[in-house]
Structure 1
Amino acid sequence: MEFVKEFATFLHQKGIIKFGDFTLASGKKSSYYVDLRLVPSYPQEFRKMVKYLENEIAQNIGLDKFDSIVSVPTGGLVIASALAIETVKPLIYVRSKPKDYGTSKSVEGKIHDGMQVVMIDDVATTGGSVVNAIKSLKEVNISVKDAYVIVNRMEGADEALNELDVKMHSILNILQITEALHEQNLVDDEILEKVKNQIAK
Structure 2
Amino acid sequence: MSAASQELLRLLATKSFRLGDFKLSSGASSDYYVDCRTTTLDAKGARLTGQVFLDEIRARGWKPRAIGGLTMGADPIVVAVAVISGELHGFLVRKAEKQHGTGQRIEGFRQKGAPVVIVDDVCTTGASTIQAIEAAREFGFTIEGVMCLVERQEAGGRASVEKAAAPALFVSIFTASDVRREHMLQNNGTANAAPLGRVACELCGHPAVTNTPRNRCAEHRV
Work out whether the TM-score is over 0.5: yes
Q: Which residue matches 2:194? A: 192
Amino acid at match of 1:72: L
C-alpha separation in 1, matches of 2:191 and 2:59: 35
Q: TM-score, normalised by structure 1?
A: 0.84
User: Residues 108 and 177 of structure 1: is their aligned pair in 2 closer, same or farther, counting only changes over 3 Å?
Assistant: same
So what's the TM-score if we normalise by structure 2? 0.77
Gaps of 5+ in 2: 200-222
In 2, the alpha carbon distance for the partners of 1:54 and 1:110 equals 18
User: Cα 1:90–1:33, aligned 2, differ >3 Å: closer, same or farther?
Assistant: same
Question: Which residue in 1 is equivalent to 2:64?
Answer: 66
Q: In structure 2, what residue type is equivalent to 1:102?
A: G
Indicate conservation of the 8 Å contact 2:13/2:182, yes or no: no
Corresponding position of 1:174: 176
Q: Deviations over 1:52-89 (max 9, x none)?
A: 21111111124xx2221112211211111111112121
1:9 alignment counterpart: 10
| CA separation of 1:131 and 1:21: change in aligned 2, threshold 3 A | same
Percent of aligned pairs with the same amino acid:
27
- Superposition deviation, residue 192 in structure 1: 2.7
Residues 21/2 of structure 1: CA separation in 2 closer, same or farther (3 Å cut): farther
Structure 1: segments with no counterpart, 5+ residues: none
Distance in 2, Cα, partners of 1:12 & 1:66 = 30
Question: Residue deviations 1:102-156, cap 9 Å, x none?
Answer: 1212112242332211011111111101111211122122111311111111122
More helix by share: 1
Which amino acid is the alignment partner of residue 179 of structure 1? R
C-alpha separation in 2, matches of 1:98 and 1:26 = 22
- Paired residue for 1:105? 104
Instruction: Provide the C-alpha distance between the structure 2 equivalents of 1:24 and 1:187, rounded to a whole number of angstroms.
Output: 27
- The residue aligned with 1:32 is 32
